[in-house]
């Protein structure tokens, strides 16, 4: 089980819908990967309606994070290793 608080994140959008987050990633980032619900990013299992879009921008990973009372947040976290892992997964698809 992961805790998003352990990450040094920036909130790009707050209290959004899953659709808004997907559309934001597709329209603001030229690079993205679609993942299934439950896919682990950092130490967090992603929640959402598939396909869940995850953005990549250099060393930054942009992903949705859902809380029952606060909707979905779009978080941006700098982590070269995780960005490289996701790029490798995308290449392997």
> Site residues (CB under 8 A) for other proteins?
1-2, 17-18, 36-38, 40, 45, 47-50, 66-72
Closest approach, Cβ 33 to other proteins, in A, equals: 16
The CA–CA distances, whole Å, from 90 to 1, 4, 12, 32, 69 equal: 24, 23, 23, 9, 32
How many residues are present in the chain? 93
The CA distance from 62 to 33, in Å, is: 10
- When the beta carbons of 66 and 78 are compared against other proteins, the nearer one is 66
Closest approach, Cβ 58 to other proteins, in A, equals: 27
Q: Whose CA is closest to 75, among 17, 3, 11?
A: 11
Closest approach, Cβ 27 to other proteins, in A, equals: 19
The CA distance from 63 to 68, in Å, is: 17
Closest approach, Cβ 70 to other proteins, in A, equals: 7
- When the beta carbons of 19 and 87 are compared against other proteins, the nearer one is 19
- When the beta carbons of 31 and 77 are compared against other proteins, the nearer one is 77
């Amino acid at each position: 089980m992961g805790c998003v608080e352990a990450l040094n994140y920036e909130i790009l959008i707050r209290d959004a819908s899953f659709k808004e987050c997907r559309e934001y990633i597709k329209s603001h980032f030229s690079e993205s990967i679609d993942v299934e619900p439950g896919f682990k990013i950092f130490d967090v299992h992603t929640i959402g309606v598939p396909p869940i879009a995850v953005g990549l921008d250099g060393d930054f990973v942009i992903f949705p994070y859902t809380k029952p009372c606060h909707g979905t947040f779009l978080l941006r976290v700098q982590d070269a290793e995780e960005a490289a892992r996701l790029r490798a997964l995308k290449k392997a698809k």
